Amino acid sequence: MNPVRKTTRLFQQYHLLEDLLGVAVTIKQCRMESFDDWMVVDVKEALQNNDQSLAAENIQRYFDGCNNTPLNIAITGESGAGKSTFVNAFRSIDNKDERAAPTGVVETTIELTSYPHPNYPSVTLWDLPGIGTTSFPADKYLEHVGFEKFDFFIIISDTRFRENDVKLAQEIQKMGKKFYFVRSKIDNDVRSVKRSQREFNEETTLAQIREYCIKGLQKQGFESPQVFLVSSFDLHLYDFYLLEENLERELPAHKRDVLLLSLPNVSLEIINKKKEALQAKIKYYATLSAVVGAVPVPGMSSAVDIGMIVGVVTQYKVVFGLDIPSLERLAQTTGVPLDDLRAVMISPLAAKKITADLVMKLLSQCITTASLMAVEEWSRFIPIFGIPAAMCISFACTYKILNTFLNMLAIDAQRVFTKALGLDTAV
Ligand code: GDP
């Protein structure tokens, strides 16, 4: 068959590439969402002007922006309320880990201390001294801790919320910042009620605790406060998922993904949301691969940019907590042996360092991708048609490969999560 017709047939298999200028078209069809808007517009413009290197530069700038977006979370509450334990749980770090915020029943948090997320250095949790442990009134306290830098505040209490908590919340509100009341150590409450009541019902117990906290806050002037019941030892139980949903809803769009990707895998739903957030970015990687493929950059002009795939897949593993340090931390916090966690992973990417060789090996096993890569090589020799054809194939290859790898790793993440919690559900 004539090579041009062969290539055209291949394109028809990919509905993403209905148009020969599929890259530009796909970008045109991308859903415009706040933070991504400028990038989509800039890239489209660069492609329309046939300036692929500018398009590549814009996409790269977008990814750099995503990775460096700061998220500062302030955790405050009286001494012993469970701030440090929450900080550690949020970062999936065991209290005994050397990077853990020190915890204990004695007063351990008297200074403002920052704890960077182990996988996302731009995400920082701040363990703030309880307002009662300082001599400042609420407004001066906020000045003292430098409230401007915080994206939101979490006010923790292990009993009812006190006057200080309320004053602080009111002052935070005045400063135009968000706050969330977290009632901690719920596992303790549930356990002790269970021991003392003959007809124990967990839902009723939780509703009573919530009601008690809300009534207390209402008495102090809050009309409709929301209180999240949390156990830092069991973030997958109680209201942590509700807290996460509220944060996600109320954060500006460009911070939402940063929060989501840095969260511990506390539910199958979070794993799924992470997957969707990562999936939404694949079209940009594919475009990057396409435009870089069409530019004569030494060492980068192939059907897929293997270096980029290695980097992206390595990031996927970290996001899903499937890299070895994250698995070790999970083993430490759950008590499930590392080998048992590793044993449930089924993808060929699992528990291995992602290298160019490994990626190439997996790609060569995938017939569609391998044939597309081969076609890409000779499509460059087709006069006029060559460059857009190569771009389209690069886009299609990268798009397919990243989606395939992402799906594999998401399944592994679900399996590890299920194993870590001792759930039997087969994923
Ligand atoms: P901080 O002073 O506010 O930082 O409080 P810590 O995080 O040091 O916690 C004080 C004590 O409460 C420690 O012994 C923790 O182990 C314990 N603690 C904290 N959070 C929880 C929780 O969710 N459940 C239970 N059962 N204990 C907790």
User: What is the average per-residue pLDDT within 260-267?
Assistant: 92
User: What is the average per-residue pLDDT within 178-184?
Assistant: 94
Query: pLDDT band at residue 111, thresholds of 50, 70 and 90?
Result: confident
**Residue 21, φ and ψ in degrees, nearest 5:** -90, 50
Task: Tell me the C-alpha distance between 151 and 123, whole Å.
Answer: 11
User: What is the average per-residue pLDDT within 213-217?
Assistant: 91
Residue 175 has pLDDT above 70, yes or no: yes
User: What is the average per-residue pLDDT within 15-20?
Assistant: 38
Task: Tell me the C-alpha distance between 295 and 300, whole Å.
Answer: 9
Tokens of 324: 């070895």
Q: What is the reported pLDDT for 151? A: 95
Greatest mean pLDDT among 44-48, 94-98, 235-239:
235-239
Ligand 1 centroid distance, CA of 278 (Å) = 33
The alpha carbon torsion through 96, 128, 115, 172 (nearest 10 deg) reads: 140
Q: Is 88 in the pocket of ligand 1 (CB under 6 A)?
A: no
User: Is the pTM above the cut of 0.85?
Assistant: no
Within 175-231, where are the H helices? 186-196, 202-219
Lowest mean pLDDT among 39-43, 70-74, 122-126: 39-43
Q: Which residue has the higher pLDDT, 376 or 171?
A: 171
User: What is the average per-residue pLDDT within 3-27?
Assistant: 43
Q: Is 85 in the pocket of ligand 1 (CB under 6 A)?
A: yes
CA 403 to each of CA 217, 312, 314: distance values in angstroms, whole numbers, following the listed order: 47, 11, 14
Q: What is the DSSP letter of 92?
A: T
Task: Tell me the C-alpha distance between 53 and 227, whole Å.
Answer: 50
Ligand 1 centroid distance, CA of 187 (Å) = 11
Q: Is 157 in the pocket of ligand 1 (CB under 6 A)?
A: no
Neighbours of 198 (CB within 10 A): 4
**Which residues does 170 contact at the CB level (< 8 Å), separation at least 6?**
138, 221
Ligand 1 centroid distance, CA of 82 (Å) = 4
Q: Give the torsion sign (CA, 341, 344, 347, 348).
A: positive
Q: What is the reported pLDDT for 131? A: 78
Ligand 1 centroid distance, CA of 162 (Å) = 18
Atom nearest to 88 CA in ligand 1: 7
Residue 354 has pLDDT above 90, yes or no: no
Q: Which residue has its alpha carbon closest to ligand 1 atom 18? A: 82
Ligand 1 centroid distance, CA of 108 (Å) = 11
Q: Which residue has the higher pLDDT, 322 or 99?
A: 322
- 256 contacts 209 by C-beta, under 8 angstroms: no
Q: Which residue has the higher pLDDT, 354 or 372?
A: 354
Query: pLDDT band at residue 351, thresholds of 50, 70 and 90?
Result: low
Q: Is 184 in the pocket of ligand 1 (CB under 6 A)?
A: yes
Q: What is the reported pLDDT for 293? A: 60
CA 418 to each of CA 46, 187, 272, 425: distance values in angstroms, whole numbers, following the listed order: 45, 20, 14, 7
Residue 159 has pLDDT above 50, yes or no: yes
Strand order in the sheet with 178-183: 113-116, 123-127, 71-77, 152-157, 178-183, 227-229
Q: Beta partners for 418?
A: none
Q: Which residue has the higher pLDDT, 46 or 377?
A: 46
Q: Is 128 in the pocket of ligand 1 (CB under 6 A)?
A: no
- 62 contacts 39 by C-beta, under 8 angstroms: yes
Query: Which among 85, 188, 189, 194 is the best mutation to test ligand 1's pocket, defined by most ligand atoms within 8 Å of the CB?
Result: 85
User: What is the average per-residue pLDDT within 66-74?
Assistant: 88
Ligand 1 centroid distance, CA of 231 (Å) = 9
Per DSSP, the three-state class of 127 is: strand
Lowest mean pLDDT among 36-40, 138-142, 159-163, 392-396: 36-40
Q: What is the reported pLDDT for 187? A: 95
Tokens of 330: 């999970």
Query: pLDDT band at residue 366, thresholds of 50, 70 and 90?
Result: low
Ligand 1 centroid distance, CA of 80 (Å) = 6
Q: What is the reported pLDDT for 377? A: 58
Q: Is 394 in the pocket of ligand 1 (CB under 6 A)?
A: no
Residue 414 has pLDDT above 90, yes or no: yes
